[in-house]
Structure 1
């Protein structure tokens, strides 16, 4: 699928390829050469569009965070009542934990980088603020913060547990956190 240097989608293909590689090999396994090969672009394209590997990783993870916030929006955006919002959070937890394994791996890779590097902490901080703002449409700020942590934790536990808990247990947890 190699195309000329005026390919307007080249940058997007590079970001998508970087995320695919991170999901498969982890951040440590990503190189300009591997990304270029995966994106089917000349090696120089990765340094033309990004100032270095760190810039490429930050922009790829920003794209991933945007994707997850869009998933939050898709579920929470249709809730009109408090009970519908609780149901939406329950649905969201199950969608995230049963969804693509890729998203779970990418989130963990980003959290690991954020634990070590301030520039990634600011990226995850912005992601959490955006998620909480969506939750705050339905819940007070303190509850939204607790729900955000519950979503992260239950998503991870459900995805990695040999026998993930059922929807009723998730809903009870959401109800406890959101009880007046």
Structure 2
């Protein structure tokens, strides 16, 4: 009777996906290779083709992980808001807080957008991410304000990475202006 083979590292696939984000952040997509990912994940190079059909699948999975974890942070921050003022402040935190403030996250988002130009699956990842973000924002703001805030997240984080003179107070004023005339939602 044959004995079933158990993987020595049942989390290996997830480790590879997470390591892929690290490699992209350090080397960009153009410098991301199976060899670099395997080294970063501390797995044998053969694991790359065992778990993934190719680099494109692995990049797509890595960007899905980025989108999923970022969306989860949006939800966590916005779900904590119970008043209109708290929801506005939650938006400020999303734009200026630890989600986007690191060079790693900004680099990964730039690489994601660049890679999506030629990859429909990755464009779908972005659309899903935006949809999830709008659901979380939409719990607090009307549909048009939700779209404006979702776009402001992307735009202001990019601008802030190049223009450090965009202060927390400026972001707070922008969010206030965008939300000043929105229709209150039933949840607040």
CA distance in 2: counterparts of 1:98 and 1:130, whole angstroms: 17
Displacement of 1:99: 2.7
Give, in whole Å, the separation in 2 of the partners of 1:44 and 1:178: 52
CA contact (8 A) 2:95 2:153 kept: yes
Show the counterpart of 1:170: 171
TM-score computed with the length of structure 1 as normaliser: 0.92
Are 1:75 and 1:92, in contact at CA under 8 Å, matched by a contact in 2? yes
1:23 equivalent in structure 2: 25
Instruction: Tell me the distance in 1 between the aligned counterparts of 2:34 and 2:17.
Output: 11
Structure 1: distance between partners of 2:99 and 2:7 = 39
* Alpha-carbon distance in 2 for matches of 1:144, 1:172: 16
Indicate if the aligned counterparts of 2:94 and 2:100 stay in contact, CA closer than 8 A: no
Contact 1:96 1:155 in 2 (8 A): no
Counterpart contact for 2:100–2:106, Cα < 8 Å:
no
Q: CA deviation at 1:98?
A: 6.0
Going from structure 1 to structure 2, the CA distance change for 1:129 and 1:140 (only over 3 Å counts) comes to: same
Length-normalised TM-score, structure 2:
0.88
- Residues 11/98 of structure 1: CA separation in 2 closer, same or farther (3 Å cut): closer
Give secondary structure in 2 for the equivalent of 1:116. coil
How many Å apart are 1:100 and its aligned residue?
2.0
Distance 1:11 1:129, change over 3 A: same
Displacement of 1:97 in angstroms is: 7.0
> Which aligned runs of 4 or more in structure 1 are off by greater than 6 angstroms?
none
User: Which is richer in helix?
Assistant: 1
Q: Give 1:160 deviation, angstroms.
A: 2.3
Select the residue among 74, 89, 107 that pairs with 1:72: 74
> What count of residue pairs does the alignment treat as equivalent?
176
Larger-Rg structure: 2
Unaligned runs of 5+ in 1: none
Deviations 1:21-43 (A, max 9, x none): 10011111111111111111111
Residue among 43, 51, 54 paired with 1:52: 54
RMSD: 1.5
Other-structure match for 1:147: 149
* Selected match of 2:63 from 31, 52, 61: 61
Match of 1:129 in 2: 131
Query: After superposition, what is the alpha-carbon deviation per residue over 1:128-169, rounded to whole angstroms, capped at 9, x for unaligned?
Result: 0000000000011221111011011111111222x3322221
